[in-house]
Structure 1
């Protein structure tokens, strides 16, 4: 029995050491978790949104921004849709898990010639033989947005986001993008 204890003791000490390192690392990583949530779109996202609208208009495509900053409550209501309430499931992100909650995402749709808002990703309203929706996505990506239509698991065609290299976990811990980044 003593041989087993002597054999296991070094492993036990190593395990305790690793646990301590993990705890210390996480304590250093836990930035201001009570940092206030943004109340508006990030200034760069706001600027690029306007540029997107103008560049699309130059291609005879009228873009409508249907959503921007969302509160955690609004995000939870959208998450409940199709799960707890009627309607289709439109998001897999709960409150605090979406870039919308941090002012880093927008959703868009198009307006047709009659002025109606449409979500038809195949529409070619400007008649150039290309999907207007995909033309807008291309413009957005050139401006630095990530497009939800490129996602593998859950295609979110209206969604555009700028992460500034930050994960949701980092944003939840209070880390925010430098507003001077471009």
Structure 2
């Protein structure tokens, strides 16, 4: 009888640990931290798109064109001030929320992200994820994302919460906190 009780208690303990892990991964990792990260003010702040990211973005444009898809990079390096202006949209400025990142909290601020859109033959720039301009039965957006991932980009559409479909980034294994502390990726492969 005692072994049965201990066995049940152990199973309950394992179950609770699993629930805590699931809760943490699903909810708590999305919360803002209750402290300010250590920011290294002496680290040189990037002023443009990282050369490797720029090279891969140019290659993405070319490979997409080879597939009959014209894309444009609508945003790349973004200053902290520009990021703060975007952050205010849907908050103190009318519109829908477009980002949850304040200045210094986005890979754009470190030159490690680009946003893209599709350009139609008539010259319109669109963000239609179902558009199939090259007529091959696969949405052009999907094709561009596949190419981008093959070049080493991570796609904002894969994020579990706030989906950012135009967003592509190369983090080089560095978190935003790493970048804020002054760590930087190599300038060349």
Q: Secondary structure at the match of 1:86?
A: coil
Decide whether aligned partners of structure 1 residues 31 and 151 sit closer, same or farther in structure 2, where only a CA change above 3 A counts: closer
CA apart distance, 1:118: 0.4
Extract unaligned runs of 5+ from structure 2.
1-37
Aligned residue in 2 for 1:149: 157
Tell me which residue corresponds to 1:136.
144
Residue number in structure 2 paired with 1:19: none
2:66 counterpart (55, 58, 69):
58
1:152: Cα distance to partner?
0.9
Count of residues in correspondence between the two structures: 153
Distance 1:169 1:141 in 2: 24
Counterpart position of 2:179: 171
Larger Rg: 1
Offset of residue 113 of structure 1: 1.6
Deviations 1:109-131 (A, max 9, x none): 00112110001011001000011
TM-score (structure 1 length as normaliser)? 0.81
Task: Determine the structure 2 residue equivalent to 1:86.
Answer: 94
**Conservation of the 8 A alpha-carbon contact between 1:32 and 1:175:** no
- 1:136 CA drift (Å): 0.3
Q: Provide runs of 4+ in structure 1 moved above 6 Å.
A: none
Q: Does structure 2 retain, via aligned residues, the 8 Å contact 1:31–1:175?
A: no
Tell me whether 85-94 or 31-40 shows the greater mean CA deviation: 31-40
Deviation by residue 1:94-119 (Cα, 9 ceiling, x = unmatched) = 10000000000000000112110001
Inter-partner Cα distance in structure 1 for 2:39 and 2:164:
30
Aligned-pair CA distance for 1:167: 0.3
The TM-score normalised by the length of structure 2 is 0.78
CA RMSD of aligned residues (A): 1.4
Q: For each residue in 1:142-175, what CA deviation from the matched residue of structure 2 results, as whole angstroms up to 9, or x when unmatched?
A: 0000000111101100000000000000100111
Q: Hey, what does 2:5 align to over in structure 1?
A: none
Name the residue aligned to 2:48.
40
In structure 2, C-alpha distance between the alignment counterparts of 1:153 and 1:34, rounded to whole Å: 33
Equivalent residue number for residue 126 of structure 2:
118
Question: Aligned-pair distance for 1:33?
Answer: 3.5
Query: Offset at 1:32?
Result: 4.1
* Residue 74 (str. 1) matches residue 82 (str. 2): yes
